[in-house]
Amino acid sequence: MALSLQGKTAVVTGGASGIGLASAQALMAQGAHVLIADRDASALNRLKALHGDQISTVQVDLLDTAQCQQLFSEILKHVAKVDIFHANAGLYVGGDLMDASHEAIDRMLQLNVNVVMKNVRDAVHHMRDNGGGDVIVTSSLAAHFPTPWEPVYASSKWAIDCFVQTTRRQVFKHDIRVGSISPGPVITALLADWPAEMLAQAKASGSLLDAAEVAEVVIFMLTRPRGMTIRDVVMMPTQFDL
């Protein structure tokens, strides 16, 4: 039996575009109030104008250590309680390792690993003190297969896959469920960094997911009975040959 999200409050990082935006829209459609945290002020303003009181917004650059540390304090200026936290913000670095700069590697690992761990740490701390909740982390198919065209990105998602599995076992006693979604290639701005031939091949064969399809899985995970945790969903286009 599916549970209703009516009256719940959800936070989505990187929620102004891509999977994050699709997740936020799906959560709103289920009756949740959604707080979108993103660095894109203009996109946040457009979303606020479009959705009105259904959403709250926080402009934040999660790569800024001080802003990242203050995120939950800023969130709680807008909402009294967080029931759902979707740690979605991330970066992509693909291609040959020797072509990746030190700066690009640092930025991606900071956002994809360190920031996720810090944000989830603060979320479960809040949820423990407020009767439980749900944490969803956007991972990737790359967390489950050593994709040779993206060694840095894949490594960050392998790290997060381990983090999700171990954190889940620490916090389920507080009625906090922790799970991840691991989609294959999704039509988002992140694919702009894919090797051109890989992207062209995926488009030609229909081997791409839509962000809204990923959001449907997020809703499925969140609406299971409390005695069930969907730890990780690996989803990919049927035509994706991996």
How does pLDDT run along the chain (242 residues), one tens digit per residue? 466 899 999 999 999 999 999 999 999 999 999 999 999 999 999 999 999 999 999 999 999 999 999 999 999 999 999 999 999 999 888 888 999 999 999 999 999 999 999 999 999 999 999 999 999 999 999 899 888 888 999 999 999 999 999 999 999 999 999 999 999 877 666 556 666 676 666 666 667 788 899 999 999 999 999 999 999 999 888 776 65
Beta-strand relationship, 176-183 and 232-235? parallel
153 noted as active-site residue: yes
Judging by beta carbons within 10 Å of its beta carbon (0-12, 13-18, 19+), is residue 219 exposed, middle or buried?
middle
Compute how many other C-beta atoms are within 10 angstroms of the C-beta atom of residue 72: 21
Where are the chain's structural domains? 9-184+211-235
The strand pairing partners of 181, in sequence order, are 138, 233
Q: Taking Cα atoms as reference points, which of 123, 169, 133, 118 lies closest to residue 32?
A: 133
Residues 6+ away with beta carbon under 8 Å from 115: 62, 63, 68, 89
Q: Model-level pTM?
A: 0.91
Instruction: Give me the residue label for tokens 């807008």.
Output: 78
DSSP state of 115: I
pLDDT at position 1: 47
| Check whether domain 9-184+211-235 has CATH 3.40.50.720, yes or no | yes
Q: SS3 for 33?
A: strand
Q: SS3 for 85?
A: strand
Structure tokens at 121: 């740490």
pLDDT at position 150: 87
Residue among 72, 85, 153, 158 flagged as catalytic: 153
pLDDT at position 117: 98
